[in-house]
Amino acid sequence: MRIIVLPGDGIGPEISQATVAVLEAADRAFGLGLSYDYEEIGFASLEKHGTTLRDETLERAKAYDGILLGPVSHMDYPPRDKGGPNPSAAFRVKLDLYANVRPARSRPFLNASAKEMDLVIMREATEGFYPDRNMFKGSGEFMPTPDVVIAMRKLTAHACERIARAAFVLAMKRRRKVTAIHKANNFILSDGFFLDKVHKVGAEFPEVTIEEVIVDAMAAHLVRHPQRYDVIVATNFHADILSDLASELSGGLGLAGSINANAETGRVCAQAQHGSAPDIQGQNKANPTSLILSAAMMLSWLGEQRRIPALEAAGAAIDRAVDAVLADPNARTPDLGGPLGTDAFGERVAKAVVRS
């Protein structure tokens, strides 16, 4: 089982190292046969190769069973034509990793006052309002005159139906409820189109309840009663915002895992939900939980897709180990009021995996 590790920018190398330490522990405990290769992306690649992401790196990644993608500082990169493409977007589009799966669940031992939450947001990641992924060539955002900006949105039946199907398949394994997010009261054609495709796919899953919620109302509902929701499906932009909100309500972006996947091609990429946090880079204080949980999701996804129980068991063990460590106030990183550094936290989780 071959994993390519792309540490990225800022705290990326530190949390990637901690995550690999946990994966190595899972490998020892479950006999997974994991191996790792490393490749530079982001500023390290820009300095060495003149681009933040080489075509060779993308092509090479296709040959691996899994991709571990660290956070990137894409807002600080030069323009795309000057060598600064966003690696995260490029992997999603060029490898067609259309399903950005973002779970959010509360942990009472971290915040006793937090409302109960256990949901998953299925985000379509290859089109929508994002101008770097809705045109064959060029950008979907442009200025025809100095005082006019136009941004275009693209939705296709293919993309809407496959993210909807991924949501319904997941809901069948959970509480059998899908909530479709939209703004069809204003985006009558485009969001109406998305809803039509969700209901079309939903007809194949009569056991699953479907509801529609307008995106701004959904933001309020997540704050008021998040326990009502199971699987939430949305187009790229809506889901991007709501997933950050849900993760923050459940404890913070630093505690939320995420994968980008395509069940048809069998490709999967583990990626933390948070950014590169350059302000704490190199200080050994970053919380690696998000990337560790993302790696656990990657193992579980691969195990399910390939029918390899050991991979699924390893993913579940990492998930339990993270909770076991976080339950101890003295085993947390500084962002959670604890004393541990990034590497020490990773070591604690690794030991907990072996004991599980």
Distance CA 288, CA 70 (A): 10
Q: One-letter amino acid identity for 300?
A: S
Q: How far apart are CA 208 and CA 318, in angstroms?
A: 29
**Cα distance between residue 301 and residue 307, in whole Å:** 10
172 φ, ψ (degrees, to nearest 5): -65, -25
Backbone angles phi, psi at 205, to 5 degrees: -130, 70
Distance, in Å, from the CA atom of 232 to the CA atom of 122, rounded to the nearest integer, reads 6
Tokens of 286: 């970053």
Pairing status of strand 148-151 against strand 141-145? antiparallel
E strand segments, 45-147: 66-69, 99-105, 118-124, 141-145
- Whole-number Å distance between alpha carbons of 208 and 164: 12
Please give the positions annotated as active site.
130, 183, 216, 240, 244
Question: Helices marked H in 62-106 — which ranges?
Answer: 87-94
